[in-house]
Amino acid sequence: MNTSPDMQVAETRASERRLRRIGLPVCALLAILFTINAWMAVSNKSITFDETVHAPAAYTHLRYNDFRMNSEHPPLWKYWAALPWLLDPPGDLRLEDPDFVTAPNGWSWAPNVLYHTPANDGKHLVAMSRLFMLLLGTGLLALIARFAWRAGGPVAAMIATALFAFDPNFLAHAPLVTNDVSFALITLAMVDCLWRCTQALTKRRVAVLALLCAAAVTTKFTALWLGPVVVSVLLIRATSPQPWRRGREIDSIASTTEGRVIDPGILRSRFARLGAVLVVCLVCGLVSYVVLWAAYGFRFNATSDPSLRANFDAQIEQALGNRIAMRTGITPRPEQIAAEPAGLAVHTLCFLHDRALLPESFLTGVVFVYANSFNRMTFLLGSISGGAHPFYFPVAILVKTPLAALALIGFAAAAFGFVRKSRENDRWLWTCLLVPFALLFTIAILSPLNIGQRHILHLYPLGYVFVGVVLARVIERQRPVLGIIFGLIVLLMLETITTFPNYLSYFNIAAGGARGGERILGDSNLDWGQDLPALARWQQAHPDRQLYLAYFGTADPAYYGVRYEPLTLGTDFKRIRPTFPDSGVVAASVTMLQVNWRREDAAAFFKMLREREPDAVLGGSIYLFDLGE
C-alpha cells in the first residue's frame, strides 16, 4: 500500500518527536553512568604522578596567591580544583619548610604535605579535588550532547555522548587533578562558539569567544596554538562568497550604494569581512591578556613577598643546557651553558620577563615547557628515543581507542562524502570541526612532547561530535544502518566495562590489552603510579613474602600500607639499590621495565625481569616476579 507524501511527512515528524522524547533521558542516563563509573574506578587508585604536586600547588595559588609551585601549568583550572580545600583545609601546609621556600616546583615539598604530615589526610584532600575535576568531565559530556544535538539532532547527541561516556581514556582522566580534560572542555566550547560565529557574528558571541580564549590560555600553555585555529576558521569564513550575517549592534560599513539600501545585517564585501575578523582577533587578544594578568592577581612577582621569586633564570639555564645535551649527547658544563647562544625563543622570553610584560610565573612555566621539550624521552614500540615522533599519536589513537569506537569513526569517515552537503549550513559545521582538529593534530605530531595520549584528549570530543552528526545523517537516509550502529555501541560498552577499574592502563583488544600495551607505549598511557592499593591488597594476602619494589610514581607506597625494600628511590634512576635480590618477590612498575638503566648491574637485573613471565599483573601497571625463597 502506497502512502501519500502527507502521510510520510506526518510519520517523519512523529518519529522525530519520539526521538526527542528519548534523546534527553538517554543522554542524562549516559552522564550518570559516566560519572559513577569514573568515580568508582578512580576510588580504587592511588594518587598519580602529577596529582601529588598539582593538588597542593593549586591550594597555594588560591589561598595564598603564591604561584611558584607547579608554574608549568597556568592557574585557572587549579582554582577550581582547590575550591573544596577552602571548605576543608589541610591541617598543616608546611609553608616554613625549606622545600617550600627553595624548591619552586614543589616536587619535594608536595609529597611531604600529602604523605608525611600527620595533620593531613592526603587521600581525602586529593579526593575532594578529584570530585570537582570529575564535575568538569561530566560538563564536557553535557556540552558534547548539546553541540551534537544542535548540529544533528537527538540521534547525533546520543551517539556522540555514548562514544564519550564509554571512552576508557576519559573515564580514567576526567577525575584526575590535571588540566587535560578541562582543556578539552574549553576547546570544544570554543569550537562550538566559532560555529555560531560563522553563522552570525554578534557582540555576544564575540565576547564569549574572547572569554573562552582567555580561559584556554590560563588553563594550559598549549592553548596558545588555539590562536591560529581561531584565525584560520574566521579567515575561511571571511573569504567565502556565502553571505555572513552579523548582529544589528555591529555598525554597517556602508548603508547605501547608488540609492540601493544594503541590509545592515549582512557583511557583504570582503573588506568588511576581513575587517570584522581583525576586530574579533584584537578583542580576543586583548581580553586574553587582561584575564591572564587577572589569573595571576595582576602582579608580576610570583608571590607578594619580593624575596620569594619564581626560578625563571634557573629555567633559562636548564633550557640552554638541555639544548646542548640533546645536540651533543653529554651533560654540559656551566661554561658551555654560558657560551650557548640564546636563540630567538629565549631572547623573546627574557625580553618579556625583563620588561614585566607578562606575569613572572607564567613566563617561568613557558620556559619550563620549552626546556623540557629538549630532554623528553619517548617509549614507542619497544624503543626509547628523544625528539618528535610523527607516528606517536597515530599509534596511540589506534591502540588506546576501543575497537568499536574505531569502527564507528571509520564508518563516519567513509560516509562523510555522501552526507557533507545534505544540509545548507553544514559547510561551516564541518569547517569548524575538521579545521581545528587537523591543525591541532598536526601541531601535536610535530611536538617533541610524546609521553601520553592524554595530550591529545582535547581532539576526541571534536571527533565524537563529527561522528555523531555524520551517522545521524546516514540513519536519516538508511534506517537499517541504525541496527549496526547500535550493535557497535553495545560492543563499546562491553569492551570498556570489562576493563573496570583499570581505565588508565587500557589498551584495546587488538593491541593485546595492558600486557600488549607494555610493548607499545609507556608513561601515562599505562603506568602513572596508580596501582599502590592493588599492591597493598596483594601484600595483605601474602604477608610472609619479602617484597622488593621498583615504583614509578610520586606517591609514598608506605602511605598506602605497602611494606617493602626499595630497589629505586622514587623516580631518580641514578639512586638505586647497591645489590639486587635473588629471592623474594619483586614488584616493578612497568615503566621500570621499559627504561634504559644507566648502571650495568641494574640493566642486567631488569632485563632478566623483562624476559620472565610475571607471576601476576596488578591493575595493568605493577608486575610481580617471584624469585623464590
Q: At what angle do helices 76-87 and 180-199 cross, to 10 degrees?
A: 120
The pLDDT of residue 508 is 96
The pLDDT of residue 252 is 39
How does DSSP assign 501-513, residue by residue? T--TT---GGGTH
Count of CA atoms in the C-beta half-sphere (13 A) of 548: 20
- Residue 492: CB partners within 8 Å, gap ≥ 6? 162, 163, 166, 402, 404, 405, 408
The pLDDT of residue 21 is 83
- Of 77, 360, 361, the closest CA to residue 219 belongs to 77
Q: How far apart are the C-alpha atoms of 174 and 171, rounded to whole Å?
A: 6
Give SS3 for 622.
strand
Q: What angle do CA 55, 307, 354 make, to 5 degrees?
A: 90
Hey, which bits of 60-207 come out as E strands? Answer: 200-201
Render pLDDT for 69-94 as a digit per residue (tens, 0 to 9): 999 999 999 999 999 999 999 999 99
The pLDDT of residue 537 is 97
Burial 468-492 (b: 16+ CB within 10 A, else e): bbbbbbbbbeeeeeeebbeebbebb
| 303, burial (CB in 10 Å: exposed 0-12, middle 13-18, buried 19+) | buried
Q: How far apart are the C-alpha atoms of 523 and 511, rounded to whole Å?
A: 17
The pLDDT of residue 596 is 80
Q: Strands 572-576 and 568-569: what pairing? A: antiparallel
Q: Positive or negative, the Cα torsion across 491, 492, 495, 497?
A: negative
- Asked if 146 contacts 156 with a C-beta cutoff of 8 angstroms, the reply is no
The pLDDT of residue 254 is 39
Beta bridge partners of 246: 201
Q: Mean pLDDT for each 10-residue chunk of the chain (629 residues)?
A: 53 64 93 98 96 96 93 95 95 89 79 94 97 98 97 94 98 97 97 94 95 97 93 94 71 42 65 92 96 96 87 88 82 85 89 94 92 81 81 95 97 89 79 96 89 94 97 88 93 95 96 93 93 97 93 93 84 64 92 85 89 93 91
Hey, which bits of 291-387 come out as E strands? Answer: 377-380, 383-386
- Asked if 175 contacts 38 with a C-beta cutoff of 8 angstroms, the reply is yes
Q: Long-range contacts made by residues 478-482, C-beta under 8 angstroms, separation at least 24?
A: none
Peptide bond into 175 cis (omega under 30): no
Give the global pTM: 0.92
| 257, burial (CB in 10 Å: exposed 0-12, middle 13-18, buried 19+) | exposed
